[in-house]
Amino acid sequence: MSRIIGIDLGTTNSCVAVLDGSSVEIVPSDLGGRTTPSIVAFAANGERVLGQVAKRQEVTNAANTISAVKRLMGRRYDSDEIQKIASFLTYAIVPSDNGDVRISVRDREYSPPEISAMLLQHLKLLAENHLGEPVTEAIVTVPAYFDDSQRQATKDAGRIAGLEIRRIINEPTAAALAYGLGKSERERIAIYDLGGGTFDISILELHQGVFEVVSTCGDSFLGGEDIDRAIVDWMVAGFRAETGIDLSADILARQRLKESAEKAKCELSFEPRARISLPFIASGPAGPRHLDRTLEREEFERLAAPLIERTTGFCHKAMEDAGLTPADIGKVILVGGQTRTPAVQRHVEAVFGQPPSLEVNPDEVVAVGAALQGGVLRGDLRDIVLLDVVPLSLGVETQGGLFTRVIEHNSTIPLRKKNIFTTVADHQTVVEVHVVQGERDLARHNRSLGKFELVGIQPAPRGVPQVEVAFDMDANGILSVSARDLLSGREQAVRITPSTGLGKDEIDRMVAEAREFGENDRKSRELTELRNRIQARAAVLVRSYLALGSLLDAADQKMLNEALRRARELGPEDGDAETLGELLDLVEAGASRLSEAVMSSPGEGQGGDPGGTEKPETGMRNLMKAALDDMEHT
């Protein structure tokens, strides 16, 4: 049975971990880091680059570099959250036919799950390279406060990537598992998770392998990205006051501002001030203009305070829902890179009346927990039970636009709940059921998940038909709904019209494309490797040939000249597998001819020069021979 990897698919960075025996290993990124930037970029030739490599070209290719796609998952284009960040993005977003967000890159539109799928494919490949075995299954984490559409979108991303998501677990629950595994005493902990894009607070009880979430609360649109934005706004305002130039309209400038804002923010976790220097950020009537400012920690904390303060209400609500006060919480664990900011840590201390515990690595703990859950599902880890909860109430819209709850928030999952509904008019044969998620009393203020039409209800006076609607919430926190007409005892036909998300046909198309792209990526990597090998070998050969080519006969010289010319003229897009293979053979044949000629020329084959009497020409030949031998290893 192959291993199940644990993936923390973060807004800013992602992390992959895998259980190896009794310990968890972090899978290194392609450039050797422990986390991978959650960034996908599209080059002019259609090639995709991901992770660290994509981050490196972010400034020069801003409009085609997609970061923080998690913020767009399962969201409607016209939602307040998306409208708030649209002007801050360096890439273009547009609405889809059903109102979801689409990302527009050159002449194509991508759904957020498609971009997430590219990240998942990349992380899968990293794990496969590291483990030396195929990976087909994963546990993927999501913020506890992700609603049904956001979870569905994450599942869709897994399907598109060809990765079976065995379980979606909540980030704080994964963190609690990593923290609490092996601890035997009963503990009540709070997990304060402030990442790049989301904030969650969860309260859990841990006892001998049982990890029970008691309550959870949060905001899936509050995180480090918002703090970066506050710094960018501060820089833009300062620059405008100084020069009259508005930097916010310039995509390239915005990308540079964003990058330096994040860098300054991270520096301010350790230093009292951070210098931000962006030469040639704009040009005005007086020539090029440079931005050079120092951000004092005090000023930074003033900018970040309203955002950090927004977490307070959620913490109180989570405690209130659990029937607890700060004194009942044994420990507060910090998760998410943004909790490294000292002002965040002070804030947590003020809310909970105790300094937070810094004993877990906030960047890796979620992936570690996911890998442990993979071990639980495979049966490698026993006697561990995760009891998670529904983050937001689920129900239906009833007469007058009211929201009627079927499942209350903080109910333990998985669970199944039924409610009886009836008609509002005489002889009504069709009932529309609108499924909604949220905490507001009017349905229109909550999140619309989809609509059902129950057709073929037996005509009867209003209030008589009894339609049983069952809500099933699985362990991933994903909902499915079914309905039955109790009067006739027959199952009713249920038509679901999801108000958001990808349709089956769209997903199938994306799965095929991702597979093809994965195959294309693999082929294009193989061709690039072939070209690199040809050029590396030709570079060694050319030096030897210049020095010793005269030892070859005319026909071999011609062959070698031709091989070296073709290798020199080889462009980054040139040649298919066959022609490149032929060229590599030609270069290698030339090298072995030269090697043979060197070996059979007078003065060779003496086996070193112990007396130090070697002629300079022979020494040169030995060196050349060594170079040609080296070629074998390039």
Residues of this chain that bind ligand AMP (CB under 6 A): 10-13, 195-196, 224-225, 262, 265-266, 269, 336-338, 340-341, 363
Nearer to ligand AMP, 269 or 437 (CB): 269
Q: Which residue is nearest to ligand AMP (CB)?
A: 224
Q: Is 163 exposed, middle or buried (0-12, 13-18, 19+ CB in 10 A)?
A: buried
Least spacing, CB of residue 310 vs ligand AMP, in Å: 15
CA separation for the pair 333, 171 (Å, rounded): 13
CA separation for the pair 542, 44 (Å, rounded): 32
The residue from 8, 148, 156, 225 that is catalytic is 8
The CA–CA distances, whole Å, from 146 to 158, 220, 364 equal: 16, 6, 20
Least spacing, CB of residue 340 vs ligand AMP, in Å: 4
Nearer to ligand AMP, 119 or 502 (CB): 119
Least spacing, CB of residue 242 vs ligand AMP, in Å: 26
Least spacing, CB of residue 267 vs ligand AMP, in Å: 8
The residue from 58, 114, 137, 171 that is catalytic is 171
Q: Is 185 exposed, middle or buried (0-12, 13-18, 19+ CB in 10 A)?
A: exposed
Nearer to ligand AMP, 335 or 376 (CB): 335
176 sits in which H/E element: helix 171-180
Cα four-point dihedral sign 588, 592, 593, 597: positive
The residue from 137, 193, 219, 397 that is catalytic is 193
**Spatial contact of 193 and 217, defined as CB atoms under 8 Å apart:** no
**Spatial contact of 227 and 300, defined as CB atoms under 8 Å apart:** no
Sheet (strand 187-194) strand order: 331-335, 187-194, 199-207, 210-219, 385-387
CA separation for the pair 256, 434 (Å, rounded): 45
**Spatial contact of 428 and 462, defined as CB atoms under 8 Å apart:** yes
* Alpha helix positions (H), 407-478: none
The CA–CA distances, whole Å, from 479 to 81, 361, 407, 410 equal: 23, 32, 11, 15
CA separation for the pair 322, 410 (Å, rounded): 9
Cα four-point dihedral sign 308, 312, 314, 319: positive
Least spacing, CB of residue 261 vs ligand AMP, in Å: 9
**Spatial contact of 293 and 185, defined as CB atoms under 8 Å apart:** no
Question: In the Cβ-directed half-sphere of 371, how many Cα atoms lie within 13 Å?
Answer: 24
Least spacing, CB of residue 223 vs ligand AMP, in Å: 6
Nearer to ligand AMP, 55 or 265 (CB): 265
Is residue 321 annotated as part of the catalytic site, yes or no? no
**Spatial contact of 150 and 112, defined as CB atoms under 8 Å apart:** no
Nearer to ligand AMP, 37 or 438 (CB): 37
Nearer to ligand AMP, 54 or 538 (CB): 54
Nearer to ligand AMP, 172 or 195 (CB): 195
Least spacing, CB of residue 343 vs ligand AMP, in Å: 10
If you ran DSSP here, which 8-state letter would residue 107 be given?
Answer: T
Least spacing, CB of residue 231 vs ligand AMP, in Å: 10
Least spacing, CB of residue 483 vs ligand AMP, in Å: 39
Give the relative orientation of helices 554-568 and 577-600 as an angle to the nearest 10 degrees: 140
Which one-letter amino acid corresponds to residue 107?
D
The residue count for the chain = 634
Of 155, 174, 59, 169, the C-alpha closest to 116 is 155
**Spatial contact of 455 and 493, defined as CB atoms under 8 Å apart:** yes
Nearer to ligand AMP, 180 or 196 (CB): 196
Cα four-point dihedral sign 176, 182, 183, 185: positive
Question: Strands 210-219 and 36-37, how do they pair?
Answer: unpaired
> Which distant-in-sequence residues (6+ apart) come within 8 Å of 526 by Cβ?
577
Least spacing, CB of residue 250 vs ligand AMP, in Å: 22
Least spacing, CB of residue 13 vs ligand AMP, in Å: 4
If you ran DSSP here, which 8-state letter would residue 479 be given?
Answer: E
Nearer to ligand AMP, 37 or 450 (CB): 37
Structure tokens at 188: 């009540």
Is residue 259 annotated as part of the catalytic site, yes or no? no
262 sits in which H/E element: helix 251-267
Nearer to ligand AMP, 362 or 395 (CB): 362
Is residue 228 annotated as part of the catalytic site, yes or no? no
Least spacing, CB of residue 133 vs ligand AMP, in Å: 27
Of 518, 508, 456, the C-alpha closest to 487 is 456
**Spatial contact of 141 and 174, defined as CB atoms under 8 Å apart:** yes
CA separation for the pair 177, 209 (Å, rounded): 9
Catalytic residues: 8, 70, 171, 193
